[in-house]
Amino acid sequence: MYSLIYQLVAVSAATAVLCFFSRPIADRLQVFDYPRGGRKHHMDPTPQIGGFAILLPLVAWLLARSFMIPGDALLLPVGLCCAGMGIVGIMDDQSHLSPTGRLLVVAVFTVTAMSLDPRLIAPAIHWSAFGSVQVLPWLFVAGAVIATAGFVSSVNMADGINGLVPAAFFIWCIGFDLFADGAVREVSLVLTGPVLIVLIFNLRGQVFLGDCGTFGVGFLFALMALACLREGRPAAETLLVWFFVPVLDCVRVIASRLTRGRSPLRGGKDHFHHILADMFGKRRAMYLYSATILVTSALAAIAPRSGIYILLALSASSLGFVAARRAMHRRREAILRPAPARAAIFRRPARKRIGDV
C-alpha cells in the first residue's frame, strides 16, 4: 500500500511539473487554444496540455507497472491504448481531425484493448436490480465499441467551461477508488492525484484539457468501466448513472440539431453547461453540473438498486428543464417584441352631390 502511495505522489509530482511548464511544452507541441470569439471567451492563448500532463506520467507508470507485475494483463492494453488515444488527441489539437475519423479511432483502440486483454469482454453484465444477464461475446464487443465512442464524444462535447470535465474526472476517480477492485482501483488511485492537479490549474485558466485529455482520459474511464462489468463491482446501473449526465446531453443535442436540420457534428452553444452558464454564470454552472454528477453518483453507488430510478429522474428533469427554459425564452421574446403597427384606415371620400359648390 505504501509503495502505491509513493507511486501516486511521483505521478502527481510529474503532472504538476508539466503544468508549471505548460507554455514551453504547448509551444513545442503547437497546442495553444487561441481566443477567436464565438465559444472562445478566454483572453490569452492557453496551453492545451492538461490531458498530456495527466497521460504522460500515467502511461509511463502503467507500462512500468505491467512489466513489474506481468500477471495483470489489464495494465498493458490500458497503457498502450490510452497512449494511442492521447496521441490522436494531440493531433486533433494541432489540426482538427474529422469527427468520423475520431470515432473510427476510438472503435479501433477499443477493439485493440479487448484483443490484448480478452477479460474486458464480460460474459455477463451484472445488474443489481435484474441479476446477471448473459451476453454473446460479439454483441458485447459491438455494444462496448458504440458505448465507448459515445462516451468519449460526450466528454469532448462537455468540455466548454473551465473545471467542468476535470471535476467530473475527479468525481469518477473517487467512485472507482471506493467501489472498484483490483487493477481498476489501483489505476484510479494513481489517476486521482494528476486529475486533481489539472483541475486546479484549469480552474485558474492556466491550462486546458485539450482533446488529448477528453479523448485519452475519457477513453481510460471507459476501459475501467468495461473492466468493472465482468465482476459487477460497481454494478452496471451505478456505472450508467456515473456517466449519464454528459451522455444524456450529447444525445439530446444530437437529436435537437437533427430535428432543426443542422449537422450534429458542428459546434454550438446548446449544451447543458451553456444553458446553465447563461442563467447562473460559468462558475456557478460548473458547480451545479458537478454537484449533479456527485450527488447522483453517490446515491447510485450507495444504493445500486436505485440506479434505474435515478436515470429516469435525470432524464425527466433535464429534458423538462430545457423545455421550460425554451418556453420562457419564447414568452420573453413575445413580450419584448414591439406590437405591429396598425394599418392605416382609409375612408372613401364622400361623393359630391350635384348641387354642392
pLDDT at 345 exceeding the cut of 50: no
Residue 267: what pLDDT? 65
**Backbone angles phi and psi of 133, in degrees to 5:** -115, 120
pLDDT at 160 exceeding the cut of 70: yes
Give the rounded percent of residues in the chain with a pLDDT score beyond 90.
57
Confidence of residue 342 (pLDDT cuts 50, 70, 90): very low
pLDDT at 141 exceeding the cut of 90: yes
Question: Of 151, 54, 44, 51, nearest to 93 (Cα)?
Answer: 51
What is the DSSP secondary-structure string of 121-176? S-SEEEETTTEEEE--HHHHHHHHHHHHHHHHHHHHHH--STTHHHHHHHHHHHHH
Residue 37: what pLDDT? 54
Give the rounded percent of residues in the chain with a pLDDT score beyond 70.
89
Residue 343: what pLDDT? 45
Residue 36: what pLDDT? 65
Summarize pLDDT for 76-120 with one digit per residue, the tens. Answer: 999 999 999 999 999 988 887 888 888 899 999 999 999 999 989
